[in-house]
Amino acid sequence: MHKILVEGIKVYAYHGCLEEEGRIGANYLVDVVMKTDFSLAAQTDDLTKTIDYVVVYEIIKRQMAIRSKLIEQVGQRIVDELKGAFQSIQELEVKVTKLNPPMNGNVERVSIVISA
């Protein structure tokens, strides 16, 4: 069994329940862990036999660009599209982190994690 991790994807997006979050936006980080079998890719050096990181990034970028009130919804959309794009994913974990959330307190980040 193998894992592919794409970590620290930095995105500026406009998610949140507050109206100003939709106008001002915020910084986000997305991390993805994909459990798969890339034995054939390792043997053949063939990109088509594994998960293309560029496609993973493009899926995340596209889903993060669609405004949602909740990062929970954004995370689920990312999970759904990744699983649809890569049938070889056996297990998947997506973490979406909002940096410096607008809260009445000193909070560095909030995150959601979806395992599928």
Structural domain boundaries of the chain? 2-115
Asked if the model's pLDDT at residue 14 lies above 90, the reply is yes
Closest CA to 23 of 105, 107, 102: 102
List the beta bridge partners of residue 9.
Answer: 30
Asked if the model's pLDDT at residue 108 lies above 90, the reply is yes
pLDDT band at 18; cut points 50, 70, 90: confident
Q: What is the CATH number of domain 2-115?
A: 3.30.1130.10
Cα–Cα distance, 55 to 13 (Å, whole number): 19
The pLDDT of residue 116 is: 95
For the question of residue 10 being annotated catalytic, the response is no
The pLDDT of residue 104 is: 82
